[in-house]
Structure 1
Amino acid sequence: MPNQEYSAKNIKSKKDTSVVHERHLVLKEKYLEDSTSGWITDSAEVIGINLHDPFRTSVSINNKMKVPFKIGVHNAVGGDHDFPNPGDLLCASLASCFESTIRLISNKLGIELIETKINATAQVDVRGTLMFDKSVPVEFQSMHIDALIIAKNTTEKLLHQLIEGAKRSCIVYQTIKKGTPITLKSDVKTKNNKL
């Protein structure tokens, strides 16, 4: 049943064959010994280049790996949408986190995945960000996930429990659903040209 509550009692791990379970045992011991070691920081950084171009930039994903990723501005707010926009990246984060969570849980349960397809979409009324209508909030008004999971040697009931487990355990899903406070520290300077 799709609405059945996910819990560890409902689903039993295939401990003897799960690489995820083996790694989680090591992590559990580590985090029980030192709870502060369970805290991680994910990161991304934009260093403005070609500042004359208001429609394109690049973000470095992960401050250690610094994987470059080109970003564009959606044509709905005046850009060319020739590269993924920040909303696309938000959807990519949600879809990739949700699919990764399904893979981890499936491995622990011994579910053999044949196919997965996670499509995340986000809807926004851009009149708010453009300040054309002050009554429109500046935020995505809704997000949606379409999840296709095909597996063998399992039941539909277990696959529905897998989806519920992914909803409960997916960090990006839970963050977006509940909302997280954002702090901001700014350092602004002006440079005046002397004539």
Structure 2
Amino acid sequence: MNSEELRKLQAPLKEQYKSNPESAVVTLTAEGNIGEGISCKVETGQRLAQAGLHPATGGDGTLACSGDLLLEALVACAGVTLKSVSTAIGIKVKSGIVKAEGDLDFRGTLAVSKEAPVGFRNIRLTFQLDCDTDAEKKATLLKLTERYCVVLQTISTATPVSSSISCC
């Protein structure tokens, strides 16, 4: 896909969203089933992911850690966003690696220390790209990728989340 094809594909959607802002509001959902042991199976659309305890919290390492899944979602979204942005602004990315690393202090998760946070202390997102462009265009590519990556923006802006529970 080139820049013109991408613009042509997105133009009617952009126009629709300008004229009818509510049509741009979409609710994304994820669903999981509580499994045997301490696990939850999540339908990802393409495959089934079964989440469980991380080895640092007593898991045996055979099930996906939900922290890993969060980082995988970030990598997926950032990679797709980067390719979309690079196409839109005319930077040819031949190949690349997107990597997310996050630091967790499991003392918080296991209630060992009230001072230790529950969740990632920090997350590092890196892109190693095979592309021929100058430093200014790379900076623009990174800036726009950060701006339009849904998962990155959700994480970095601390989006409010509400929770509820019901028993049947």
User: Do they fold alike, i.e. is TM over 0.5?
Assistant: yes
Matched, 1:95 2:78: no
RMSD: 1.7
2:13 aligned partner: 27
Q: Distance in 2 between matches of 1:58 and 1:118?
A: 25
Q: After superposition, give the CA deviation of every residue in 1:112-145 in whole Å (9 maximum; x if it has no partner).
A: 1111111001111111111111221212111111
Amino acid at match of 2:155: I
Equivalent position to 1:183, from 158, 162, 165 = 162
Equivalent position to 2:43, from 47, 56, 60 = 60
Q: Distance in 2 between matches of 1:184 and 1:66?
A: 27
Indicate if the aligned counterparts of 1:19 and 1:107 stay in contact, CA closer than 8 A: no
Q: Is the radius of gyration larger for structure 1 or structure 2?
A: 1
Amino acid at match of 1:179: A
TM-score, structure 1 length as denominator?
A: 0.79
> How many correspondences in the alignment?
167
Name whichever structure is richer in strand by fraction. Answer: 2
SS at match of 1:144: strand
Matched, 1:129 2:109: yes
| % identity of equivalent residues | 27
Name whichever structure is richer in helix by fraction. Answer: 2
Amino acid at match of 2:24: G
Indicate if the aligned counterparts of 1:127 and 1:136 stay in contact, CA closer than 8 A: yes
Q: Distance in 1 between matches of 2:162 and 2:46?
A: 23
Q: Distance in 2 between matches of 1:66 and 1:115?
A: 23
Q: Distance in 1 between matches of 2:3 and 2:124?
A: 33
Indicate if the aligned counterparts of 1:19 and 1:108 stay in contact, CA closer than 8 A: no
2:99 aligned partner: 119
Q: Which runs of 5+ in 1 are unaligned?
A: 1-15, 190-195
Amino acid at match of 2:55: N
2:56 aligned partner: 76
Q: List aligned pairs for 1:11-26, cutoff 5 A.
A: 17-26=3-12
Matched, 1:85 2:85: no
Indicate if the aligned counterparts of 2:3 and 2:89 stay in contact, CA closer than 8 A: no
Amino acid at match of 1:32: K
Q: Distance in 2 between matches of 1:164 and 1:120?
A: 17
TM-score, structure 2 length as denominator?
A: 0.91
Indicate if the aligned counterparts of 1:77 and 1:126 stay in contact, CA closer than 8 A: yes
